[in-house]
């Protein structure tokens, strides 16, 4: 009692102690996030080639982006296609694997770790290069197709129809973090609900669609929001595997932004692109939240 009251006293006396403990984060947040963001907002209204001082040009970058830059629209299209196709597929896949791994067996721990691995390494440069080789005309994919009787040297990465799918498959493969979140959500579904469903004579499918899925919707919603944001920011895969080719079909927004800034030395334009992306993500997240009440099951 004595000890805790002294501690209480201490906190009251030193009101700032909380602030002090927060300081490392606050400083990092200000110096590495807020200040650079402010600078980038300023640059977005400038003609800035990195080498010489920025020149204020008003809304020029934004106007050029929306009215003159065709490649910008290609990159928006590619990014939307990628995010809107790969995220749902990845979530479905993650849920499937989570459903299998939720059953406790001796090797479950191992499998959970193993399936989580792609999430960690999948975004790396090494895997991107590996992917590029796999889908090359004489790569593993074509060799495997040869084994089942389809002799081909199809260039997967050079065809406008298939190139983006190689990136989507790579994204689906990185299902680990969504899977872990699904796993813990699955475990939290009360057993009684399934027992009650059994009593009512529900089969496996009914149980999945009437019990599991509704109770998972908050988790699905969370995963969806996080993954869509990640999808819009996809970078490494496109930069390394396809460089946006063929004909900009895989030119992701972040890659085009990088090209503008560091290849074409137009950091002002790239900053403007970054802010448009921020607004875009904000709008999409907002829309997702608006749809929440129609399909997300909230427990009271």
Which residues are registered as beta bridge partners of 46?
56
- Can you list the alpha helix ranges (DSSP code H) found in the chain? 2-13, 17-29, 35-43, 60-67, 70-101, 108-121, 125-134, 140-147, 163-173, 176-188, 191-199, 204-207, 213-232, 236-237, 253-258, 267-295
Q: What angle do CA 266, 80, 155 make, to 5 degrees?
A: 90
CB contact at 8 A, 109 and 148: no
Rounded least distance, CB 282 to another protein, Å: 28
Which of 51, 148, 279, 287 lies at the binding interface for another protein (CB under 8 A)? 51
CB contact at 8 A, 73 and 251: no
Q: Is 126 in the site for another protein (CB under 8 A)?
A: yes
CB atoms within 10 A of CB 105: 9
CA 276 to mean position of chain CA atoms: 18
Which of 22, 247, 278, 283 lies at the binding interface for another protein (CB under 8 A)? 247
Q: Which of the residues 165 through 194 are near another protein (CB under 8 A)?
A: none
| Contact stretch for another protein (CB under 8 A) within 84-92, 93-101, 150-158, 213-221 | 150-158
Rounded least distance, CB 76 to another protein, Å: 17
Count residues contacting another protein (CB under 8 A)? 37
Q: Is 112 in the site for another protein (CB under 8 A)?
A: yes
Q: Is 159 in the site for another protein (CB under 8 A)?
A: yes
CB contact at 8 A, 119 and 227: no
Torsions phi, psi of 47, nearest 5? Answer: -90, 110
Q: Is 144 in the site for another protein (CB under 8 A)?
A: no
Which of 21, 31, 59, 153 lies at the binding interface for another protein (CB under 8 A)? 153
Which of 17, 55, 100, 138 lies at the binding interface for another protein (CB under 8 A)? 138
Q: Is 283 in the site for another protein (CB under 8 A)?
A: no
Rounded least distance, CB 138 to another protein, Å: 4
Give SS3 for 55: strand
Q: Is 145 in the site for another protein (CB under 8 A)?
A: no
Q: Is 158 in the site for another protein (CB under 8 A)?
A: yes
When the beta carbons of 97 and 296 are compared against another protein, the nearer one is 97
CB contact at 8 A, 100 and 183: no
Cis before 237? omega within 30: no
Q: Is 33 in the site for another protein (CB under 8 A)?
A: no
Which of 44, 79, 246, 250 lies at the binding interface for another protein (CB under 8 A)? 246
When the beta carbons of 112 and 207 are compared against another protein, the nearer one is 112
What single-letter DSSP state applies at residue 113? H
Cis before 246? omega within 30: yes
Which of 113, 140, 278, 283 lies at the binding interface for another protein (CB under 8 A)? 113
Torsions phi, psi of 55, nearest 5? Answer: -115, 130
Radius of gyration of the chain (CA): 25
| Contact stretch for another protein (CB under 8 A) within 1-9, 14-22, 119-127, 188-196 | 119-127
The site for another protein (CB under 8 A) is made up of: 49-52, 71, 106, 109-110, 112-113, 116-117, 120-121, 123-126, 137-138, 153, 155, 157-160, 245-248, 259, 261-266
């Amino acid at each position: 009692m004595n000890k805790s009251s002294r501690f209480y006293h201490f906190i009251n006396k030193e009101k700032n102690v909380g602030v002090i403990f927060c300081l490392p984060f606050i400083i990092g947040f200000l110096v590495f996030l807020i200040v650079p963001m402010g600078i980038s907002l300023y640059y977005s209204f400038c003609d800035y080639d990195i080498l010489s001082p920025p020149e204020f040009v008003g809304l020029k970058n934004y106007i050029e982006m929306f009215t003159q830059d065709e490649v910008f629209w290609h990159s928006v299209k590619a990014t939307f296609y990628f995010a809107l196709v790969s995220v749902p597929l990845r979530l479905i896949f993650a849920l499937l694997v989570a459903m299998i791994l939720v059953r406790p067996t001796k090797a479950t721990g191992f499998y959970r770790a193993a399936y989580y691995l792609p999430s960690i390494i999948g975004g790396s440069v090494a895997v991107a290069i590996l992917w590029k080789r796999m889908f090359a005309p004489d790569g593993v994919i074509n060799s495997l197709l040869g084994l089942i009787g389809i002799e081909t040297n199809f260039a997967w990465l050079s065809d406008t129809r298939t190139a983006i799918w190689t990136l989507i498959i790579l994204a689906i493969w990185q299902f680990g973090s969504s899977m872990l979140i699904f796993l813990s959500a699955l475990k939290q579904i009360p057993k009684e609900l399934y027992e009650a469903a059994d009593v009512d004579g529900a089969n496996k499918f009914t149980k999945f669609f009437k019990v599991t899925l509704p109770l998972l919707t908050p988790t699905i919603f969370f995963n969806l929001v996080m993954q869509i944001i990640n999808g819009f920011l996809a970078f490494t895969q496109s930069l390394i595997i396809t460089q946006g080719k063929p004909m900009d079909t895989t030119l992701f927004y972040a890659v085009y932004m990088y090209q503008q800034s560091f290849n074409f030395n137009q950091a002002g334009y790239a900053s403007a692109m970054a802010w448009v992306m921020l607004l875009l993500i904000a709008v999409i997240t907002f829309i997702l939240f608006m749809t929440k009440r129609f399909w997300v099951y909230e427990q009271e």
